[in-house]
Amino acid sequence: MKVLSTIQDPTFTGRDYSRLDKFFLQYIKDERDLPFIYLTIQISLTVIPLSVLLFMPFVAGWIWWAVAAVHLFITNFRFKGPFGLMLHCTSHRQFFKSEYDWMNKYIPWIVAPFFGHTPETYYSHHIGMHHPENNLEDDDSSTMAFQRDSFRSFLAYFGRFFVLGVRNLLDYLRLKNRPKLATRALAGEIVFGVVCVGLWFISWPATVMVFLLPLVIYRLIAMLGNWTQHAFVDANDPGNAYKNSITCINVKYNKKCWNDGYHISHHVRPAMHWTEHPTFFLKTIDKYAQNRAVIFDGLDFLQIFFLLMRGKYDVLARHMVNVNGAFANDADAIELLRYRTRRITAPSEVVPMPERRAMAA
Query: Are the C-beta atoms of 92 and 230 separated by less than 8 Å?
Result: no
The least confident of 49-53, 65-69, 242-246, 343-347 is 343-347
Euclidean distance between CA atoms 305 and 229, whole angstroms: 9
Identify the residue with better confidence: 271 or 346.
271
- φ/ψ of 152, rounded to 5, equals -65, -40
User: How confident is residue 356, by pLDDT bands cut at 50, 70 and 90?
Assistant: very low
Residues 54 and 91 in one domain: yes
Q: Of 202, 229, 256, which residue is a domain's last? A: 229
Average pLDDT over residues 128-134: 97
In a domain, 3, yes or no: no
**Percentage of the residues of the chain whose pLDDT score is greater than 70:** 96
Residues 305 and 205 in one domain: no
Query: Are the C-beta atoms of 75 and 113 separated by less than 8 Å?
Result: no
Residues 274 and 223 in one domain: no
Distances (CA, A) of 339 to 142, 305, 332: 17, 16, 11
Q: Can you give the pLDDT at residue 144? A: 97
In a domain, 334, yes or no: yes
User: How confident is residue 352, by pLDDT bands cut at 50, 70 and 90?
Assistant: low
Average pLDDT over residues 208-223: 97
CB-based contacts of 18, cutoff 8 Å, min separation 6: none
Q: Report the DSSP beta bridge partners of residue 248.
A: 296
Residues 31 and 143 in one domain: yes
Handedness of CA 107, 111, 112, 113 (dihedral sign): positive
Residues 52 and 158 in one domain: yes
Q: Can you give the pLDDT at residue 345? A: 85
Boundaries of domain holding 304: 241-360
Q: pLDDT digits over 50-108, tens only? A: 999 999 999 999 999 999 999 999 999 999 999 999 999 999 999 999 999 999 999 99
How many structural domains is the chain composed of? 2
Q: Of 196, 229, 262, which residue is a domain's last? A: 229
Residues 183 and 274 in one domain: no
**Percentage of the residues of the chain whose pLDDT score is greater than 90:** 94
In a domain, 57, yes or no: yes
In a domain, 10, yes or no: no
Distances (CA, A) of 202 to 31, 54, 59, 68, 205: 42, 11, 13, 16, 9
pLDDT of 113 > 90? The answer is yes
Euclidean distance between CA atoms 119 and 94, whole angstroms: 16
- φ/ψ of 320, rounded to 5, equals -75, 145
Q: Of 209, 229, 249, which residue is a domain's last? A: 229
Residues 197 and 331 in one domain: no
Euclidean distance between CA atoms 335 and 320, whole angstroms: 13
Residues 34 and 103 in one domain: yes
Residues 183 and 125 in one domain: yes
Which region, left, alpha or beta, applies to residue 78 given φ > 0 means left and ψ of -120 to 50 means alpha? alpha
Distances (CA, A) of 307 to 151, 238, 302, 310, 312: 11, 23, 9, 5, 5
Euclidean distance between CA atoms 126 and 40, whole angstroms: 21
Euclidean distance between CA atoms 251 and 126, whole angstroms: 24
Residues 164 and 309 in one domain: no
Euclidean distance between CA atoms 86 and 93, whole angstroms: 10
User: How confident is residue 14, by pLDDT bands cut at 50, 70 and 90?
Assistant: confident
Residues 330 and 213 in one domain: no
Residues 288 and 143 in one domain: no
Q: pLDDT digits over 280-330, tens only? A: 999 999 999 999 999 999 999 999 999 999 999 999 999 999 999 999 999
Q: pLDDT digits over 171-188, tens only? A: 999 999 999 999 999 999
pLDDT of 360 > 60? The answer is no
